[in-house]
Amino acid sequence: MKVYQVVLIALLLMSCSGKKDANETIRPVFYQKVEKTTTSQNRSFSGVSQAAKEAKLSFKVGGTIDQLNVELGDVVKKGTVIASLDTSDYLINYNKAILSLRNAEVQYSAAHSGFQRVEKLYAGNNASLTDYEKSKAQFESAEAMVKTAQSQVKAAKNQLDYTRLVAPFDGTISAILADENEMTSAGRPIVVFSSTSNIEVKTSIPENMINQIEKGQLVTVSFITLPGESFQGMVNEISPGTQGASSYPVIIQISEPSTGLLPGMTGNIQIPLHEDKAHGTIIVAPDAISHDQDGDFVFLADKSNEPGLYVVTKRVVNLGDLTSSGYEVTNGLKDGEIVITAGIRFLYEGRTVKLIDQAK
């Protein structure tokens, strides 16, 4: 009798189970298609500010440095006299050139008057051709002497002007390479002059991150000596060659530097690093994640033999960080797979579902 009861109960259960499968509704579910996405994460790098434009200023002539009008760190306006040489010898040469010009002009005036007189006589047949040509030659020679003297005056004036070293643009004195009363030669640097209107920051990026930044990318720069201030910068140059231990020099152009920002200041650069698409991250909605004795898992929707219908399968996954968009999945999913994102508690492996676009 007991055996009969057990068999009867088993048959009833099988009958109920078959009835459930036959009457089970096809559950609509929301989903997302697995796709690697690029993420952007700010990374901090240190750098040092430098002038985008820098010049070693030197005299065009040699001599004794008479005055050095600047000190290290001075901010100088365009046209300011930075240093000057002793002008004694150059002033003497200039005055000599002026005197030579005046003498040449006197000779020119006399030769011109003489030529005009002989020219009139020759026109009236009262002077010979020889006298005419001689007078004309004297006039042309005097004229050439005036032009030569004028050139000498101009050259002497330039030499005199070259004894003044003038700032070519607004900037700051970043180095002084000579002293007053010191002899210097033409072309020898006297000061290093840096622009204050164009400041850039030089930093180094490790080789494993260099492909995650690009020219023209915007960054944020702050400086220890300028607390409370931050500056917008732009990646202006990425060197193709390494520097030191497998790092690449990168130049950041500061968009609007303040008057307090000077070359040589240590800065902190916040650069958004864009992850390579090929090595991107898979992000899954938090509602898609479940947990059981096997660990974290998701339900996937695999195509069935019936058009428009899918079969549920379970997939254990490894999770990374929780971001604002969802969980990072570091292992267990690949591009193109379909993850069910809602109604998880009603699902089990083998259940038939229909996909619904969440946007609808």
CATH label of the domain that carries residue 130: 1.10.287
Residue 325 lies in a domain: yes
Distances (CA, A) of 211 to 15, 236, 239, 251, 277: 63, 15, 12, 15, 11
Q: For 204, list phi and psi in degrees, rounded to 5.
A: -130, 135
Look at the block and give the residue holding tokens 């660990």: 295
Residue 114: partners with Cβ closer than 8 Å, 6 or more residues away:
135, 138, 139
Decide which of 194, 212, 238 is a domain's last residue: 194
CB atoms closer than 10 angstroms to residue 221: 27
Residue 216 lies in a domain: yes
Residue 234 lies in a domain: yes
Contact 319, 327 (CB under 8 A): yes
Tokens representing residue 207 in the block: 């080789």
DSSP secondary structure letter of residue 60: S
Look at the block and give the residue holding tokens 């010191």: 182
Distance (Å, whole) CA 70 – CA 343: 77
Q: How far apart are the first and last CA of the chain?
A: 59
Q: For 148, list phi and psi in degrees, rounded to 5.
A: -65, -45
Contact 326, 285 (CB under 8 A): yes
**Domain span including residue 270:** 43-52+197-276
Tokens representing residue 233 in the block: 């910068």
DSSP secondary structure letter of residue 288: G
- Length of the chain equals 360
Q: How far is CA 360 from the centre of its chain?
A: 44
Amino acid at 234: M
Distance (Å, whole) CA 128 – CA 167: 62
Look at the block and give the residue holding tokens 């989903």: 31
Residue 4 lies in a domain: no
Distance (Å, whole) CA 44 – CA 39: 16
Contact 272, 38 (CB under 8 A): no
Split into its structural domains, the chain has a count of 4
Residues 104 and 143 in one domain: yes
CATH number of the structural domain spanning residue 187 = 2.40.50.100
Residues 77 and 185 in one domain: yes
Crossing angle for the helix pair 88-123 and 129-161, to the nearest 10 degrees: 160
Q: For 302, list phi and psi in degrees, rounded to 5.
A: -100, 145
Residue 313: partners with Cβ closer than 8 Å, 6 or more residues away:
299, 300, 302, 349
Q: For 34, list phi and psi in degrees, rounded to 5.
A: -65, 130
CATH number of the structural domain spanning residue 326 = 2.40.420.20
DSSP secondary structure letter of residue 24: P
Residues 319 and 225 in one domain: no
Tens digit of each residue's pLDDT (9 = 90 or more) over 122-169: 888 888 999 899 999 999 999 999 999 999 999 999 999 999 999 998
Mean pLDDT by 10 residues, the chain (360 residues): 45 42 75 78 87 92 96 92 97 96 95 92 89 92 95 96 95 93 96 88 88 90 89 91 76 85 88 65 88 92 91 92 83 90 86 78
Residues 186 and 201 in one domain: no
Residue 342 lies in a domain: yes
Residues 185 and 69 in one domain: yes
Residues 79 and 171 in one domain: yes
Tokens representing residue 99 in the block: 């005197």
Element holding 141 (H helix, E strand): helix 129-161
3-state secondary structure of 143: helix
Residue 6 lies in a domain: no
Tens digit of each residue's pLDDT (9 = 90 or more) over 213-236: 889 999 999 998 888 889 999 999
Residues 298 and 340 in one domain: yes
Decide which of 252, 276, 300 is a domain's last residue: 276
Residues 120 and 174 in one domain: no
Residue 102: partners with Cβ closer than 8 Å, 6 or more residues away:
none
Residue 351 lies in a domain: yes
3-state secondary structure of 312: strand
**pLDDT computed for residue 276 by the predictor:** 52
What Rg value do the Cα atoms of the chain yield, rounded?
44
Residues 108 and 64 in one domain: no
Residues 112 and 173 in one domain: no
CATH number of the structural domain spanning residue 204 = 2.40.30.170
